[in-house]
């Protein structure tokens, strides 16, 4: 191993250490990378002039057609949250299932899936469900751990169920890595993997997770009836339920349907979803009162994502200049177990990094480093790899100690729910997600069948 490659490893170690201490992600990545670039140039390990490519890369990020979908998907989700459409859906579905043992838990999972497919934002879903369902579940005698774990896990479905914002950025980064892998292998007419491919590939695993969550709640309700009792609820009329379901179903059909059937690109579909959210909100509140807070929150979330991406772009430039990508490629190629061993090591690394980094950080920092090396190995389907990463990344949203969903939930949870309740409550759901990864490992068709059917992949 050469001295520059040792410096590339040190760069990663120092960056992770700084993140664990609590420094801001984007500034940490950019600042440490700049420091290593100066040091590497002074020691003759790299040429500082390589950072001259940074402005062009940033320009490419800001004009990327795929990433233009992000602010519109974020706007759509925030508008649904602010207009209380999500709250109405939760209340009515809760009344529909509440009379069953474990019924409120079923309602949380099902509404979480619907909100995931119509908003794509974990934070908005977690806060909304935490404010409404946690007090209701506690009031009716639900175990605080089961209540907190069900809400947290259901909220994270917004990370894997399309139109997830994480899938958008993962699709963009994976496509770049896939083309780089093909070019390095001598293919100068590379194939692409699109966000639409990942959206189609995520539907099967998303439905699998919803089914497993429902099965777990049903099992607890059967084994421990006092932990998930039936409740006396005012029946909900069929008209009221249809009205509550109309908003998310319309958006799901408009956004996902237009993407999957090739009517619109993800960016075009995102704009349709944003306009649709405005029209749906119009009936419930003066749109003028909503637009300002929605626009402000959308700007904050979008700016955070792009700032992390710019810092990660600088990090990857310096990492590659120090020879880190060659080091990773050699390491993965020579691991025991061949291709399976390489994928297993990367999945384990992503899972462990989830303890200290969130999904966006992992996508922007780790995927550009490991994905090109993995995709050069024989027999790895890029869509399957992307969905494996996405399901794995979902755990980073909720496993202790730094899962963002845990902090969202802690901020809105009633006083009766402690941090311990939340941390213990999510453990079974993290195990369920790991089981889903095992299913995907042995049954890759769960992720690849729909992309093949829709796009001939």
For residues 190 and 129, give the distance between their C-alpha atoms in angstroms, rounded to a whole number. Answer: 43
- pLDDT tens-digit readout, 115-145: 777 766 676 677 777 777 788 788 878 888 8
List phi, psi (to 5°) of 150: -65, -45
Q: What is the mean pLDDT of residues 380-390?
A: 90
> Is the pLDDT reported for residue 23 higher than 80?
no
pLDDT category of residue 207 using cuts at 50, 70 and 90: very high
> Is the pLDDT reported for residue 457 higher than 60?
no
What is the percent of the chain with per-residue pLDDT over 70, rounded to a whole number?
86
Cα→Cα distances 13→6, 31, 374, Å: 11, 14, 21
Query: Are the beta carbons of 157 and 202 closer than 8 angstroms?
Result: no
> Is the pLDDT reported for residue 210 higher than 90?
yes
User: What pLDDT does 100 receive?
Assistant: 76
pLDDT category of residue 211 using cuts at 50, 70 and 90: very high
User: What pLDDT does 194 receive?
Assistant: 82
User: What pLDDT does 69 receive?
Assistant: 77
User: Looking up tokens 């993407």, which residue turns up?
Assistant: 259
User: What pLDDT does 119 receive?
Assistant: 64
> Exposed, middle or buried, 406 (CB in 10 Å: 0-12/13-18/19+)?
buried
User: What pLDDT does 348 receive?
Assistant: 85
User: What pLDDT does 22 receive?
Assistant: 66
- pLDDT tens-digit readout, 423-434: 888 889 989 999
pLDDT category of residue 59 using cuts at 50, 70 and 90: confident
4 vs 146, residue with greater confidence: 146
- pLDDT tens-digit readout, 216-266: 999 998 888 888 887 766 666 666 666 667 767 777 777 777 777 777 777
For residues 196 and 349, give the distance between their C-alpha atoms in angstroms, rounded to a whole number. Answer: 26
> Exposed, middle or buried, 274 (CB in 10 Å: 0-12/13-18/19+)?
buried
Q: What is the mean pLDDT of residues 191-206?
A: 86
User: What pLDDT does 232 receive?
Assistant: 67
For residues 292 and 241, give the distance between their C-alpha atoms in angstroms, rounded to a whole number. Answer: 30
User: What pLDDT does 435 receive?
Assistant: 93
Domain ranges of the chain: 3-455
Q: What is the mean pLDDT of residues 333-357?
A: 78
> Is the pLDDT reported for residue 396 higher than 70?
yes
User: What pLDDT does 351 receive?
Assistant: 82
User: What pLDDT does 238 receive?
Assistant: 61
For residues 329 and 319, give the distance between their C-alpha atoms in angstroms, rounded to a whole number. Answer: 13
> Is the pLDDT reported for residue 198 higher than 70?
yes
Q: Which residue, among 99, 155, 147, has the nearest Cα to 123 in the 3D structure?
A: 155
> Is the pLDDT reported for residue 440 higher than 80?
yes
Write the Ramachandran bin of 81: left for phi over 0, alpha for psi from -120 to 50, otherwise beta: alpha
pLDDT category of residue 456 using cuts at 50, 70 and 90: low
User: What pLDDT does 209 receive?
Assistant: 93
């Amino acid at each position: 191993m050469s001295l520059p490659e040792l410096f590339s490893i040190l760069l990663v170690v120092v960056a992770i250490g700084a993140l664990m201490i609590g420094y801001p992600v984007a500034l940490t990545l950019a600042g440490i990378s700049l420091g290593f670039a100066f040091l590497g140039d002074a020691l003759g390990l790299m040429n500082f002039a390589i950072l001259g490519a940074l402005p062009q890369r940033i320009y490419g990020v800001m004009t990327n057609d795929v990433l233009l979908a992000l602010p519109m998907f974020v706007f759509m989700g925030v508008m649904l949250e602010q207009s209380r459409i999500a709250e109405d859906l939760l209340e009515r579905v809760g009344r529909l299932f509440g009379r069953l043992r474990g019924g409120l838990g079923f309602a949380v999972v099902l509404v979480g899936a619907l909100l995931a497919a119509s908003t794509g934002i974990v934070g908005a879903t977690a806060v909304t469900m935490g404010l409404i369902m946690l007090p209701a579940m506690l009031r009716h005698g639900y175990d605080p751990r089961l209540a907190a774990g069900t809400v947290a896990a259901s909220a994270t479905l917004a990370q894997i169920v399309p139109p997830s914002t994480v899938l958008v950025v993962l699709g963009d980064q994976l496509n770049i890595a896939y083309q780089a892998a093909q070019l390095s292998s001598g293919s100068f007419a590379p194939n692409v993997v699109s966000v639409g491919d990942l959206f189609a590939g995520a539907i099967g695993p998303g439905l699998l997770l919803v089914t497993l969550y429902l099965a777990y709640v049903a099992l607890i309700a059967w084994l421990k009836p006092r932990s998930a009792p039936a409740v006396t609820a005012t029946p909900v009329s069929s008209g009221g339920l249809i009205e509550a379901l109309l908003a998310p179903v319309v958006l799901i059909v408009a956004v996902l349907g237009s993407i999957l059937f090739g009517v619109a690109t993800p960016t075009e579909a995102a704009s349709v979803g944003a306009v649709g959210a405005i029209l749906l909100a119009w009936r419930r509140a003066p749109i003028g009162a909503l637009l300002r807070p929605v626009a402000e929150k959308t700007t904050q979330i979008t700016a955070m994502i792009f700032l992390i991406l710019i810092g990660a772009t600088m990090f990857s430039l310096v990492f590659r200049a120090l020879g880190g990508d060659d080091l990773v490629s050699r390491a993965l190629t020579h691991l025991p177990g061949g291709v399976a061993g390489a994928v297993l090591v990367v999945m384990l690394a992503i899972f462990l990094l989830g303890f200290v980094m969130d999904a966006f950080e992992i996508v922007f920092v780790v995927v550009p480093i490991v994905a090109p090396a993995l995709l050069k190995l024989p027999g790895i389907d890029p869509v399957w790899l992307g969905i494996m990463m996405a399901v794995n990344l979902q755990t980073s949203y909720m496993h202790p100690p730094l899962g963002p969903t845990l902090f969202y939930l802690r901020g809105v949870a009633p006083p009766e729910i402690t941090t311990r309740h939340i941390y213990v409550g999510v453990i079974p759901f993290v195990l369920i997600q790991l089981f889903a990864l095992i299913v995907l490992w042995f049954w890759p068709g769960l992720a690849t069948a729909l992309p093949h059917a829709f796009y001939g992949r």
